[in-house]
């Protein structure tokens, strides 16, 4: 059994849909001034790191579950040797 590459299109679009407003909030807070940026930027950085971590964690668990079910990676095809090497 070969590994199946999950599409994860819903989770990918959810991550993008979360990160775009977070970066917009960072830009807006910086534009508003230092006092606003001191409050908003740390919160948004934690949100961004958390969302990316969850997304990658889900991918990790997907891979582990496939490997646990007996799937094995396909061998990559070998590149042709360069002539004269």
Residue ranges per structural domain of the chain: 9-68
Q: What is the DSSP letter of 2?
A: B
| Mean per-residue pLDDT of the chain | 85
Cα separation values, 9 from 13, 33, 71, Å: 6, 36, 22
pLDDT score at 20: 96
Q: Are 3 and 63 in contact (CB under 8 A)?
A: yes
Spatial distance between the Cα atoms of 8 and 84, rounded to a whole number of angstroms: 44
Tokens standing for residue 1 = 């059994």
Q: What is the pLDDT of residues 31-66, one digit of tens each?
A: 999 999 999 999 999 999 999 998 888 887 777 777
Q: What is the DSSP letter of 27?
A: H
């Amino acid at each position: 059994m070969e590994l199946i590459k999950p599409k994860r299109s819903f989770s990918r679009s959810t991550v993008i849909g979360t990160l775009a407003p977070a970066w917009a909030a960072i830009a807006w807070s910086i534009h508003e001034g230092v006092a606003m940026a001191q409050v908003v930027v740390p919160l948004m950085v934690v949100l961004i790191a958390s969302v990316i971590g969850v997304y990658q964690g889900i991918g990790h668990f997907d891979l582990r579950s496939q490997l646990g079910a007996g799937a094995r990676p396909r061998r990559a095809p070998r590149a042709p040797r360069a002539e004269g090497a």
